[in-house]
């Protein structure tokens, strides 16, 4: 019997916030002849609606900063735009997308929605998509984005929004189609090249990914993010030294470009250099400018400890993260840290302790001021986590009942990500019951970006005698999805499995 011992996948997220910002068309309420001429020239782009020249100027500065992933600075500019024109719906929209806390995000989404009536039809659709996304209403989000693209088929940013929607659903082929549209409309739109690189990477089309990221660097040679993005691709294909070189280029350009320190730490961990990985995490912490960046830096330290097998040190840093989040009143962050601590305990086989952390995570999230849809999602996440805890505790009855409870809730109201988790649970349950044929069928329909799931799928295929498939899955479990928080837990096991399979 294959008793699982795993850390389930955290929700997949990619930092593409800057690419979601609205197009820079005309100032709809402007009255000058020059503004009217600009409006006529940009009639096929989503307009920007404000009556304040001061607000528009701050907004445009914010958008330029966001396009280059200077998110903190962009957020300040959008706040200035809101201060100059409190009714500026798209400034609220972009403040939400550049927000540094969950509370700020939901507050800004609400204010964007409240002021949407005075915006243009295109802006209203963008805001509707954002609101739908914040409520986990993916059907409503898609409908609004499709209408936006139909209305503004020549707006590269409209295509970007729809491409990013498909990217989030892991429909990378559809995402490439819209990113290609955006690049064709505006060959100098750097964001399109960035997202093309990521989409091709996830399709394992590494040649086209490299071409897109190279073009991104060419378009913005003096910005950090192009080098950071290219470094991620190099890390994904195992070129760790070249990846570190590009990450270092990013922080040379901008010493505050925090995520590049995290990339260096992961590379060093993958190379087996635990000390250098912690050094990079410390540098990331030293460069942190706000509580959110401090949390990110400490998480980098946690994963570095996990790669090195130092569980005690990882949990100690998690405790520090919890304490700081509590001081800052960030219940959402406390929920995330508590969940991760539960995951670590499950990997150690301590299901009871894991459940304690999951219960705390749910309490924090319900106290965080989420909307009803996100509160319901937090409750479903708790069902999912505790179902796996029951499997690890060998409580077959609880595992079956919790899996059924989660599956019913996710099928009724869950996102596409959650519905993949239905198959993830079904696969684990089938594997525990020695039904490997059913297990691999479910794994194939689950999240293919989850190293943990890939590892167990590889094991199941290996036991079924599907050696070629097992090798492919073990390779991906060990060497792909390098930014996933799941990777530290079973990378060594995946490498060992791969070595055994290729030696046969």
C-alpha 229/C-alpha 198 separation (Å) is: 8
Q: Is the pLDDT of residue 137 over 90?
A: yes
- In percent, the amount of the chain with pLDDT more than 70 equals 91
Q: What is the DSSP string of 125-154?
A: HHHHHHHHHHTT-HHHHHHHHHHHHHH-TT
For residue 19, the 8-state DSSP code is G
C-alpha 14/C-alpha 197 separation (Å) is: 13
Phi, psi of 254 (to 5 degrees): -140, 100
C-alpha 445/C-alpha 432 separation (Å) is: 18
HSE-CB for 61 with a 13 A CA cutoff: 15
C-alpha 161/C-alpha 230 separation (Å) is: 22
Element (H, E) at 384: helix 372-392
Q: What is the pLDDT of residue 42?
A: 55
Q: What is the pLDDT of residue 267?
A: 98
Taking only the tens place, the pLDDT of each residue in 46-101 is 999 999 999 999 999 999 999 888 899 999 999 999 999 999 999 999 999 999 88
Residues forming beta bridges with residue 403, ordered by sequence position:
none
Q: pTM for the complete prediction?
A: 0.89
Taking only the tens place, the pLDDT of each residue in 251-304 is 999 999 999 999 999 999 999 999 999 999 999 999 999 999 999 999 999 999
3-class SS at 27? strand
Residues forming beta bridges with residue 48, ordered by sequence position:
27
Contacts of 350 (CB under 8 A, 6+ apart): none
C-alpha 131/C-alpha 125 separation (Å) is: 10
Instruction: Dig out the tokens for 382 from the structure.
Output: 């708790």
Residues of the chain with CATH 1.25.40.10: 415-504
Higher pLDDT, 31 or 172: 172
C-alpha 304/C-alpha 315 separation (Å) is: 12
Residues forming beta bridges with residue 27, ordered by sequence position:
48
C-alpha 28/C-alpha 444 separation (Å) is: 49
CATH class of 12-154: mainly alpha
Contacts of 295 (CB under 8 A, 6+ apart): 321, 324, 325, 333, 337
Helix, strand and coil content of the chain, in percent to the nearest 5, comes to 75, 0, 25
Higher pLDDT, 37 or 42: 42
Contacts of 43 (CB under 8 A, 6+ apart): 25, 26
Taking only the tens place, the pLDDT of each residue in 337-385 is 999 999 999 999 999 999 999 999 999 999 998 899 999 999 999 999 9
- Four-point Cα dihedral 136, 138, 140, 142, nearest 10: 150
pLDDT, mean over the chain: 91
Farthest CA pair distance, the chain:
77
C-alpha 245/C-alpha 363 separation (Å) is: 42
C-alpha 340/C-alpha 359 separation (Å) is: 12
3-class SS at 421? helix
Q: Is the pLDDT of residue 406 over 90?
A: yes
Taking only the tens place, the pLDDT of each residue in 191-236 is 999 999 999 999 999 999 999 999 999 999 999 999 999 999 999 9
Q: To which residue do tokens 């060419």 refer?
A: 218
137: left (phi over 0), alpha (psi -120 to 50) or beta: beta
Contacts of 466 (CB under 8 A, 6+ apart): 440
The superfamily in CATH containing domain 415-504 is Tetratricopeptide repeat domain (1.25.40.10)
């Amino acid at each position: 019997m294959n008793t699982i011992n795993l850390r389930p996948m955290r929700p997949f997220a990619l930092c593409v916030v800057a690419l979601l910002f609205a197009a820079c068309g005309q100032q709809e309420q402007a009255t000058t002849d020059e503004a009217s001429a600009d409006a006529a020239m940009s009639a096929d782009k989503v307009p920007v609606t404000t009556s304040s020249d001061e607000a528009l100027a701050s907004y445009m500065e914010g958008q330029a900063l966001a396009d280059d992933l200077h998110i903190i600075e962009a957020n300040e500019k959008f706040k200035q735009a809101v201060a100059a024109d409190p009714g500026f719906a798209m400034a609220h929209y972009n403040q939400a997308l550049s927000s540094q806390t969950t509370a700020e995000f939901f507050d800004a989404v609400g204010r964007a929605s409240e002021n949407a009536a005075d915006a243009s039809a295109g802006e209203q659709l963008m805001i509707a998509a954002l609101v739908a996304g914040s409520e986990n209403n993916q059907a409503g989000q898609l409908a609004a984005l499709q209408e936006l693209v139909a209305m503004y088929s020549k707006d590269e940013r409209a295509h970007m929004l729809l491409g990013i929607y498909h990217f989030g659903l892991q429909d990378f082929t559809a995402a490439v189609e819209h990113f290609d549209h955006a690049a064709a409309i505006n060959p100098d739109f750097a964001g399109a090249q960035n997202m093309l690189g990521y989409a091709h990477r996830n399709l394992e089309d590494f040649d086209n990914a490299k071409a897109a990221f190279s073009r991104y660097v060419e378009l913005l040679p003096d910005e950090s993010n192009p080098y950071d993005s290219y470094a991620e691709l190099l890390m994904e294909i195992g070129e760790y030294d070249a990846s570190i070189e590009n990450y270092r280029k990013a922080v040379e350009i901008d010493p505050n470009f925090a995520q590049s320190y995290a990339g260096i730490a992961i590379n060093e961990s993958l190379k087996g250099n635990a000390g250098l990985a912690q050094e990079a995490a410390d540098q990331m912490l030293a460069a942190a400018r706000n509580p959110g960046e401090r949390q990110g830096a400490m998480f980098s330290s946690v994963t570095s400890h996990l790669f090195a097998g130092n569980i005690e040190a990882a949990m100690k840093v998690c405790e520090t993260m919890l304490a700081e989040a509590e001081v800052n009143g960030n219940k959402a962050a406390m929920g995330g840290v508590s969940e991760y601590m539960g995951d670590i305990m499950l990997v150690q086989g301590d299901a009871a302790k894991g459940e304690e952390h999951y219960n705390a995570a749910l309490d924090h999230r319900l106290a965080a001021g989420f909307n009803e849809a996100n509160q319901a999602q937090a409750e479903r996440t708790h069902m999912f986590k505790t179902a796996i805890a029951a499997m690890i505790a060998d409580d077959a009855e609880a595992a079956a009942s919790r899996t059924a409870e989660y599956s019913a809730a996710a099928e009724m109201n869950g996102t596409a990500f959650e519905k993949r988790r239905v198959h993830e649970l079904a696969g684990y349950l089938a594997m525990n019951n020695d039904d490997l044929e059913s297990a691999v069928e479910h794994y194939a329909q689950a999240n293919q970006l989850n190293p943990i799931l890939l590892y167990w799928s590889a094991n199941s295929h290996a036991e079924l005698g599907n050696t070629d498939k097992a090798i492919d899955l073990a390779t991906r479990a060990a060497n792909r999805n390098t930014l996933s928080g799941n990777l530290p837990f079973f990378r060594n096991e995946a490498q060992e499995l791969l070595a055994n399979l290729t030696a046969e």
